[in-house]
Amino acid sequence: METELRFGVIGWGYWGPKIARNLDSLPDAAVTLVADMDPNRVASVSLPNPALRLSVDPAEALTSDVDAVVIATPVRTHYQLAKQALLAGKHVLVEKPLTDNLAQAEELTELAERMGLTLMVGHTFEYSPAVNEVRSLVRAGELGRIYCIETERLNLGLFRNDTDVIWDLAPHDISILNYTLAEEPIQARVSAHGNLRSPIPDNAHIDLVYASGTRAHIHVSWMHPTKVRRVTLIGDQRMVVYDDTNPAEMVRIFNSGADVSADPEVSYRFGAITIPHIEWMEPLRLECEDFANAIRLGTPPRASSRTGVAVVRVLEAAQESRREDGAWVAIDRATVKAGVSRETEPR
């Protein structure tokens, strides 16, 4: 039998309870402390563990005997809480995005590595069996060369007070793209606007360019009548649609395409649509298992803090592009500060 891992959860809003229930149900693991600065949220905590301690002081989670801390609080609080937790010797799972700026994301990553602690980020979709199916198809070359990818993450709300739609929703799509392509974008530009509470964007379009020539377009919105969570990949051999809202047919592979046979003639291929069987498991459950295993084995989790840094790097470039009226921004992996090129069109 393994030694029991004790987890503290900071933040009992929408997402904290979901992580806590998953961690608490793992073998040889228990959530032993929950902290939220809002007493009403603390009063709403219910978990089966009779020894559970509750607090309105997040510092209590850091001074207690927990082995690891989950930070499920607004993004502006991630850096301070994660840093304090690491300095107190705790392994940490921070919700996405890792931080609200690149320098702090890098600092936390270096601190965790120096202290030999697990620092993981809540990129839940990297644990989705459907995303992993798409990734396998891409990596096996089933789609051929990827021309472009479109992602849509749209719904009415949830409007957040502490952040904008780019920092709230796009981390999911950027992490899916980074994870699926094994390539990080080299340039980004953004068109975003706030319909309801200008200037805070509630609708945004992010264009990304990759060194391989692939292009991606991310559309995120809090101002849309229906829930859309779709990723469409266009390859020169096949096309794939991953629709997270369609459990029966989450991934569809289209054996279709277009070719230039004799310029300017275009010929079309319309082949079968294949729907692979996907063994479904709850992504959050898999994420929590990975966190516990990473702590026990001392190996990096899939959604390591380095993947968190990579996502924040793109978010920061998007933010820079907004400040520069939608100019293309180079995403420089070597430096913290992204360079801006107003005129240059991407390759």
Ligand X SMILES: NC(=O)c1ccc[n+]([C@@H]2O[C@H](COP(=O)([O-])OP(=O)(O)OC[C@H]3O[C@@H](n4cnc5c(N)ncnc54)[C@H](O)[C@@H]3O)[C@@H](O)[C@H]2O)c1
Binding residues for ligand X, total number by CB under 6 A: 22
Among 4, 28, 38, 236, binds ligand X (CB under 6 A): 38
Q: Does residue 8 bind ligand X (CB under 6 A)? A: no
The minimum distance between CB 262 and ligand X, in angstroms, equals: 48
Query: What H or E segment, with its residue span, contains residue 115?
Result: helix 102-115
Among 5, 34, 58, 314, binds ligand X (CB under 6 A): 58
The C-alpha R_g of the chain, in whole angstroms, comes to 21
Instruction: Report 16-35 residues binding ligand X (CB under 6 A).
Output: 16, 35
**Cα of 122 vs its chain's centroid, Å:** 6
Q: Nearest-CA neighbor of 65 among 86, 90, 47?
A: 90
Residues 287 and 118 sit within 8 Å (Cβ to Cβ): no
Closer residue to ligand X, CB minimum distance, 75 or 119: 75
Instruction: Report 215-234 residues binding ligand X (CB under 6 A).
Output: none
Q: Does residue 183 bind ligand X (CB under 6 A)? A: no
**Cα of 90 vs its chain's centroid, Å:** 22
The whole-angstrom separation of Cα 170 and Cα 189 is: 13
**Cα of 195 vs its chain's centroid, Å:** 25
Q: Which residue is nearest to ligand X (CB)?
A: 13
Q: Does residue 128 bind ligand X (CB under 6 A)? A: no
Q: Does residue 88 bind ligand X (CB under 6 A)? A: no
Q: Nearest-CA neighbor of 97 among 303, 300, 287?
A: 303
Among 47, 62, 72, 208, binds ligand X (CB under 6 A): 72
Peptide bond into 247 cis (omega under 30): no
Among 14, 114, 198, 260, binds ligand X (CB under 6 A): 14
The residue range among 72-80, 141-149, 272-280, 327-335 that interacts with ligand X, by the rule CB under 6 A, is: 72-80
Residues 194 and 201 sit within 8 Å (Cβ to Cβ): yes
Question: Interface residues with ligand X (CB under 6 A)?
Answer: 10-16, 35-38, 41, 58, 72-75, 77, 95-96, 122, 124
